[in-house]
């Protein structure tokens, strides 16, 4: 099988990130991930792996999720631009 090249730059970016995360997980650099995937007909949340129970680490994760929540809320409030 040859090399597959995607024409969609957003898809290329997504595939590159997922490959990096898979490599990092294989090499033990990350132990868990929070993946929110949007399909045409559904949105899926996956939380594979193990996360630290340290208060600082949990607070950091929750803080990043709060930033994502704010970004999505702001996107929903803006008119659809295409």
pTM > 0.85: no
Q: How many domains does the chain have?
A: 1
Q: Is residue 22 part of a domain?
A: yes
**In this prediction, what percent of the chain has a pLDDT beyond 90?**
72
User: Which residues are CB-neighbours of 54 under 8 A, at least 6 positions away?
Assistant: none
Range of the domain at 34: 9-77
Q: Is residue 1 part of a domain?
A: no
pLDDT of 24 over the 80 cut: yes
- Cα(29)–Cα(22) distance, rounded to whole angstroms? 10
Q: Who wins on pLDDT, 3 or 63?
A: 63
The DSSP bridge pattern shows strands 35-38 and 43-46 to be antiparallel
Q: What is the pLDDT of residue 5?
A: 66
Q: Is residue 17 part of a domain?
A: yes
Q: Is residue 2 part of a domain?
A: no
Q: Is residue 4 part of a domain?
A: no
The residue assigned the tokens 């409030």 is 77
Q: What is the pLDDT of residue 75?
A: 87
pLDDT of 4 over the 90 cut: no
Left if phi > 0, otherwise alpha if psi is -120 to 50, otherwise beta: which for 49?
A: left
- Cα(70)–Cα(77) distance, rounded to whole angstroms? 11
Q: Is residue 51 part of a domain?
A: yes
């Amino acid at each position: 099988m040859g090399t597959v090249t995607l024409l969609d730059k957003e898809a290329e970016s997504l595939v590159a990130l997922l490959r990096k995360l898979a490599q990092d997980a294989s090499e033990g650099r990350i132990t868990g991930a929070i993946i929110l995937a949007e399909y045409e007909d559904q949105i899926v949340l996956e939380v594979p792996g193990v996360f630290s129970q340290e208060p600082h680490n949990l607070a950091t994760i929750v803080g990043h999720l709060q930033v994502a929540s704010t970004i999505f809320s702001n996107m929903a409030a803006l008119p659809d631009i295409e």
